[in-house]
A and B are shown apart, each in its own frame.
Chain A
Amino acid sequence: MNEHIIKDENLVYKKPSTLLDVPMHYCPGCGHGTVHKVLMEVIEEMGIASETIGVAPVGCSVFAYNYMNVDMQQAPHGRACAFGTGIKRVMPDRYVFTYQGDGDLAAIGTGETIHAASRGENILTIFINNGIYGMTSGQMAPTTLPGMKSTTSPRGRDVETMGYPLVITNLLAQLPGVAYLTRHSVHKVANVRRLKKAIMKGFEYQKQGLGYCLIEVVTNCPSNMKMSALAANEFVEQHMLPYYPLGDIKTPEEK
């Protein structure tokens, strides 16, 4: 009965061809899936899938190569920006992105992140800030909010003994090698659309050789926040976004 409406011109939603047709392992409602889709949509729309190389290090997105139909390397925990540097230096005409969690980018890999940024490596980093260690089941991340509970801060993050959250994207802003820093979320449709535009800009700037670009996505981890997906998105809005406000932090014009 519905057959006659399944036509290209009626299509309002589809999976980009750059995403492989396999079930994802992400928990229901997790932001990773949404960001994967948006990233792959951009790569499809820009027509750059055949000349893009991605890096996904250890973290929940370690299996990104199972989903993204672009050449990919899996890096050790924290080393994605070093991989990205190595790849871009020998393949300067390819588009290179890294896709990293907060533990990866802002704890074990802080050195690699800051130095790749400082050298102005022409790569794009997608930085998933979910405030927690997803893959290893909910330990405190460098981005865990003050007072926020995790398995290694069961009474809430005590900044006196555990230190403050590292707002690394703002820290990077002062580096001359950095071209573009912007913070987004995927907890609402309008935000997803804005993220997509930002990713497009990121690749565009890379093409122009403007320097290091990083897009932070403040998102949820329903499983380890021990909340429903909706409640976790609510938590992002109410608690995470005030600490990590959305919007551009640095653009090439100010570089």
Chain B
Amino acid sequence: MGEIRLMKGNEALAEAMIRVGCDAYFGYPITPQSEVLEYLSEQDPMSRTGMVILQAESEVAAINMVHGAAGCGKRVITTSSSPGISLMQEGISYMAAAEIPCVIANVIRGGPGLGTIQPSQSDYFQAVKGGGHGDYKLIVLAPSTVQEMVNHVKQGFELAEKYRTPVMLLADGAIGQMMEKVELFPQIPRKKDSELPQEWATTGRGDRKLRNFITSLNIQPEKMEEINLHLQEKYRTIEANEVQYEANNLEGAEYIFTGFGMGARICNKAAELGRAKGYKIGVIRPITLYPFPVAIYNDVASKVKGIFDVEMNAGQMVEDVKLAVSGKTRVEFYGRMGGMIPSPEEILENFEKIFIK
């Protein structure tokens, strides 16, 4: 058993970074995730593990510091919230293209624009469909508990390094701010310089005859298409191997409630209320938003009367649910926006209005 603590989501995220053996964190303050850099500053990870932390002058600078440091083969992470993540998009696209592993956490606040500091899930499209320019994907993990904030930091680095790709944790302000009991994994030592990947990382040439270089540029279209094909092949492998979801009460279910992160927690509560009233409701919660758990939705689609998708946005993941069921069942959506969190009662009421009448 690891160490048990009562922690705020953002602080647990920060503690997990130190424990996972991160070499560096670069970030810029923004609500509702400023506690990450504050917690790190308080902890002084340089004295604990030798981990570098730096408050950058902007999110643009932060993500490019991440690129530089992660390009040396180091474990590097940044966190921000919606407007800051928008600013990082060019850098994220460069890293996806140059195949640089790193982890980026978005503790979403309500948009568009400066929006609100209240929690939201309105950056699903940005995270899952690319966000920046060009054909690329991020592996996207959606924590729904403080415990998962911790677990996903570790898993995020494992996936990032396995596939040489940026990974995004898509949380929201509620998970960032809430306090829950967490079990922390024991300290993982930071990589030694001798363990840095000599096949690609810019560590200094050392004994190598020829330099390593990192670039996303290729002006020959034939070559650039090859690079694209290689990336797409990698994404297909990820889709085949890395899907994660959680499902309950699917056996005999007539309806499926679905949502991710915070939305899924409320869905679970609403489904409980519904089952108490006699409705047969199962719940599916994607943990990886990319790769999306297409098969399970497709599977249940032929067995249920409908899928009810609940999100804290105008309806984003629901598009992927519809693609997954491919017209086999009815898919309806209910959402709140701008930082509003739907209550379980409200969800059930809307479910009844739409599906039961």
Contact = CB atoms under 8 A, between A and B. Distances in A.
Interface of A: 49-53, 55, 62-63, 65, 68-76, 79, 82-87, 89-91, 94, 111-112, 115
B217 A62 contact: yes
Contacts of B58: 111
A244 B69 CA distance: 34
Given A76-B90, A82-B64, A71 B54 contact: no
A70 B69 CA distance: 16
B4 to A, nearest CB: 32
B67 A73 contact: yes
Contacts of A74: 98, 213-217
Contact of B64 (A52, A71, A79): A79
A112 B217 CA distance: 22
A65 B70 CA distance: 18
B68 A84 contact: yes
A89 B24 contact: yes
Interface string B268-302: 00000000000000000000000000000000000
B84 interface: no
Contacts of B90: 76
23 contacts: A50-B205, A50-B206, A65-B211, A71-B211, A71-B213, A73-B214, A74-B217, A76-B64, A79-B60, A79-B67, A82-B56, A82-B65, A82-B67, A83-B71, A85-B54, A86-B65, A86-B66, A87-B68, A87-B69, A89-B52, A89-B65, A90-B69, A112-B57
B17 to A, nearest CB: 14
Contacts of B57: 111-112, 115
B213 A72 contact: yes
B204 interface: yes
A111 B68 contact: no
B322 interface: no
Nearest to B53: A89
A200 B212 CA distance: 23
A177 to B, nearest CB: 13
Contacts of B217: 62-63, 74
A75 B202 contact: no
A89 B69 contact: yes
Nearest to A96: B68
B216 A72 contact: no
A65 B64 contact: no
Contact of A90 (B52, B60, B91, B94): B52
Contacts of B206: 50-51
A112 B26 CA distance: 14
B203 interface: yes
Contacts of B94: 76
A115 B55 CA distance: 11
A3 to B, nearest CB: 29
B304 interface: no
A79 B71 CA distance: 14
B203 A55 contact: no
Interface string B194-224: 0000000011111110111111110000000
Contacts of A90: 23-24, 52, 69, 72, 74, 76
A68 B211 contact: yes
A65 B213 contact: yes
B231 to A, nearest CB: 17
A50 B210 CA distance: 10
A65 B215 CA distance: 9
A84 B61 CA distance: 11
Which residue, A63, A72, A75, A82, has most C-beta atoms of chain B within 10 A? A82
A162 B65 CA distance: 32
A87 B205 contact: no
Nearest to A51: B204
Contacts of B70: 86
Given A71-B202, A75-B67, 8 more contacts: A69-B210, A73-B214, A74-B213, A74-B217, A79-B67, A82-B60, A83-B65, A112-B61
Contacts of B207: 50
A70 to B, nearest CB: 5
Given A49-B205, A71-B204, A86-B69, A111 B211 contact: no
Contacts of A72: 202, 211-214
B205 A73 contact: no
Interface in B44-95: 52, 54, 56-58, 60-62, 64-72, 74, 76, 90-91, 94
